[in-house]
Amino acid sequence: MKNKRWIIVALFTLMGCGVYAQKLSFNEEGTFKIVQFTDVHYKHGNPKSDTALLLINRVLDAEKPNMVVFTGDIVTGIPVKEGWDAITKLVIDRNIPFAVTLGNHDHEQGVTREEIAHFVTTYPLNLNTPAVPGVSGVMNDQIPIYSHKDRLNPAALVYCFDSGAYSSIDGVKGYGWITTDQINWYKTQSLRMTVQNNFKPLPALAYFHIPLPEYRIAFNDEKNKRVGVRLENECPPELNSGMFLAMREMRDVMGIFVGHDHVNDYLVSYHDIALTYGCFSGWKTTYTPQMNGARVVVLTEGKRQFDTWLHMLDGTIRYNVTFPTLE
């Protein structure tokens, strides 16, 4: 029996979804909705954080998503475990599967990234695996979304990456990056799914915390289509590790979704990939906008496109567009 359990765990790890994950699939209308919450900066017991809880409750009740993704800097105060319990309870109570990627602040309260990944992946409905052997970071995952017709064949993919925290190279300042071994893992997983899909890349989305250097390049080029605003300079890593190039080469990822920069909420089209920010989901500080919100994405089965908009705390909907037309 013990050997059988380890075989099951290994199979789920290879599949890129957590042991406790349930199977995701498009609904009968052929759509799949994802809500992204980012930079919640939740501090359990701090009344100011109630605004973040209010947002999450309102958005989940209004949007009724098929999946939630938390993209880093979620719990940034002690007690850490109790904070994660409170945040994840909101999705678990609604029976919504969820995934987590960590930011640069999640591990700064006396709990390591590995420890966070360990307890996050034990929650009911979590879709992550704690770690992939030989791959840097935690909770790097390829999560399949199956066809509503037979629920046997994946029709789309969601990638989660640990984008690190801060530079690990002497003399290089700034934030972390997705590493070479993570990129190699991604390319292997992408190729495997492409081969299984009769050599046709599956439509995919990627979620992580720190934006790629291409965000700044793309937004600065006025010929690129964009919606939303940039109210601060992007804060990508100083070095470019090649993640964007790998995604463009593999031709599956059509949208990248990050957080990190609290007052940026734009989407810019760059070489047929949507470089997209979520919406700051935490409570107001001097660094944050007047109102918090969440990003919603709706995939349509069989199409390489998605609809997206921001859902704000007061119910306002902003920047409702379809990628790639951005209309």
**pLDDT score recorded for residue 9:** 37
Residue 256 belongs to domain spanning: 25-323
Burial readout 69-78 (b: 16 or more C-beta within 10 A, e: otherwise)? bbbbbbbbbe
Exposed/middle/buried for residue 245 (C-beta within 10 Å: 0-12, 13-18, 19+): middle
Contacts 24+ apart (CB under 8 A), 27-32: 27/66, 27/148, 28/148, 30/148, 30/300, 30/301, 30/302, 31/298, 31/299, 31/300, 31/301, 32/66, 32/67, 32/145, 32/156, 32/298, 32/299, 32/301
Residue 18 lies in a domain: no
Helix, strand, coil percent values for the chain (each to nearest 5): 25, 25, 50
**pLDDT score recorded for residue 119:** 93
Digits of tens for pLDDT over the chain (327 positions)?
A: 334 333 333 444 444 444 334 689 999 999 999 999 999 989 888 887 888 999 999 999 999 999 999 998 899 988 999 999 999 999 999 999 999 999 988 877 889 999 999 999 999 999 999 999 999 999 999 999 999 888 888 999 999 999 997 888 888 888 889 999 999 999 999 999 999 999 999 999 999 999 999 999 999 999 999 999 999 999 999 999 999 999 999 999 999 999 988 899 999 999 999 999 999 999 776 566 678 999 999 999 999 999 999 999 999 999 999 999 999
Order across the sheet with 67-71: list the strands: 98-101, 67-71, 31-37, 293-300, 306-312, 317-323
Burial readout 270-283 (b: 16 or more C-beta within 10 A, e: otherwise)? beebbbbbbbbbbb
Tell which residue, 246, 178, 189, has the closest CA to residue 17. Answer: 189
**pLDDT score recorded for residue 286:** 59
End-to-end CA distance of the chain: 55
**pLDDT score recorded for residue 285:** 62
Residue 67 lies in a domain: yes
Measure CA 34 to chain center: 10
Coil/strand/helix, residue 195: helix
State the Cα torsion 63-146-14-64 to the nearest 10°.
Answer: 10
Q: State the total domains in the chain.
A: 1
Residue 211 lies in a domain: yes
Whose tokens are 């209010």? That residue is 54
**pLDDT score recorded for residue 173:** 86
Per the structure block, which two tokens stand in for 267?
């989407």
Residue 4 lies in a domain: no
**pLDDT score recorded for residue 250:** 98
CATH of the domain at 155: 3.60.21.10
Residue 288 lies in a domain: yes
Question: Which residue(s) pair with 227 in the sheet?
Answer: 267
Question: Who contacts 267 (Cβ-Cβ below 8 Å, separation ≥6)?
Answer: 226, 227, 228, 274, 275, 276, 277, 308, 319, 321, 323, 326
Q: How many residues does the chain have?
A: 327
Q: What is the sign of the dihedral through the CA atoms of 178, 181, 187 and 193?
A: negative
